[in-house]
């Protein structure tokens, strides 16, 4: 859709108040030309989906930093499917590794939940923006997301 900014929903899921990283990401996305609907801290999963429906968002970026992300994010893709957003891009990031689990194992868990990209701790917002660009470009070629 040339000439029209894509809309992205961001927020911190569950009973999590860590808002700073999410704010920085939202500012970077806006600077990159996206329309950002920033839901802030303490956001229930259903609110991400409702916001995305109403604003016709093309991606939802979920942050979780307090160690309960896996519980909060379970069923997230199903909620999207239920609301008619089966194809929306879903990214998750923050402090997702809990205990002695490896990063690979953690990332795999989230991918299986239906997230398209899983960001490790310390991820730069530039990388997220590159992912988005590649994935949106891939979508225009009819793919679900970019290979890398």
Partner 1 sequence: MNAALLIDFGSTYTKLRAVDLGERRVIGAGQGPSTVTSDILLGMKAALADLERRCGALPHFRYRLASSSAAGGLRMVTVGLVRELTAEAARQAALGAGARLVGTFAYRLTPADLERIAQLRPDILLLAGGTDGGNAAVVLHNAAALAAGALECPVVYAGNREAADEARALLGEKLIACTENVMPEFNVLNIEPARAAIRRVFIDRIVHAKGIDRAAAEFDAVLMPTPAAVLEGARLLADGLPGTRGLGDLLVVDPGGATTDVHSVAAGEPAAGVVRQGLPEPRVKRTVEGDLGMRHNAAAIASAAGLDAIARDAGLDPERAGALLAEVSADIGRLPANAEETAFDQALARAAVRIAVERHCGRTEIVYTATGPVTVQHGKDLTRVATVIGTGGALVASAAPRAVLAMALADPANPFALRPRAPRLLLDREYVLYACGLLQSVEPQAALELALGNLSELDQDTAHERTRHA
**Catalytic residue list:** 16, 18
- Residue 35 CB, shortest distance to partner 1, in Å, is 7
Q: Checking phi first, is residue 2 left (phi over 0); if not, alpha (psi -120 to 50) or beta?
A: beta
C-alpha to C-alpha distance for 80 and 102, rounded to whole angstroms: 28
Among the residue ranges 35-43, 74-82, 121-129, 135-143, the one whose residues contact partner 1 (CB under 8 A): 35-43
Query: Please, what is the minimum distance in Å from the beta carbon of residue 129 to partner 1?
Result: 20
- Under rule CB under 8 A, residue 23 binds partner 1: no
- Please report, for residues 82, 97, 138, 148, the alpha-carbon distance to residue 22 in angstroms, rounded to integers and kept in the order given: 26, 18, 25, 23
37 binds partner 1 (CB under 8 A): yes
Q: For Cα atoms 135, 73, 134, give the angle at the middle one, nearest 5 degrees.
A: 5
Which positions from 42 through 71 interact with partner 1, judged by CB under 8 A?
A: 42, 50-51, 53-56, 66-68
Q: 13: closest CA among 127, 128, 99, 96?
A: 96
Both structure tokens of 87: 């194809």
Sole residue written with tokens 């956001």? 43
Which range, of 10-18, 73-81, 100-108, 135-143, touches partner 1 by CB under 8 A? 10-18
Q: According to the binding rule CB under 8 A, does residue 16 interact with partner 1? A: yes
Q: Which is nearer to partner 1, 111 or 121 (CB)?
A: 121
* Residues found near partner 1 in the complex (CB under 8 A): 4, 7, 15-17, 35, 37, 41-42, 50-51, 53-56, 66-68
């Amino acid at each position: 859709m040339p000439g029209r900014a894509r809309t992205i929903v961001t927020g911190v899921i569950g009973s999590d108040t860590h808002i700073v990283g999410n704010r920085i990401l939202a500012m970077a996305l806006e600077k990159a030309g996206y329309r950002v609907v920033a839901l802030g801290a303490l956001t229930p999963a259903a609110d991400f989906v409702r916001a995305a429906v109403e604003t016709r968002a093309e991606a939802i970026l979920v942050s979780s930093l307090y160690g309960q992300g896996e519980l909060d994010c379970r069923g997230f893709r199903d909620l999207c499917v239920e609301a008619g957003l089966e194809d929306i891009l879903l990214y998750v990031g923050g402090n997702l590794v809990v205990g002695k689990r490896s990063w690979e194992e953690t990332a795999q868990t989230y991918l299986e939940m239906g997230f398209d990209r899983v960001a490790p701790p310390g991820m730069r917002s530039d990388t997220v923006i590159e992912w988005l660009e590649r994935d949106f470009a891939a979508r225009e070629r009819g793919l679900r997301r970019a290979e890398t």
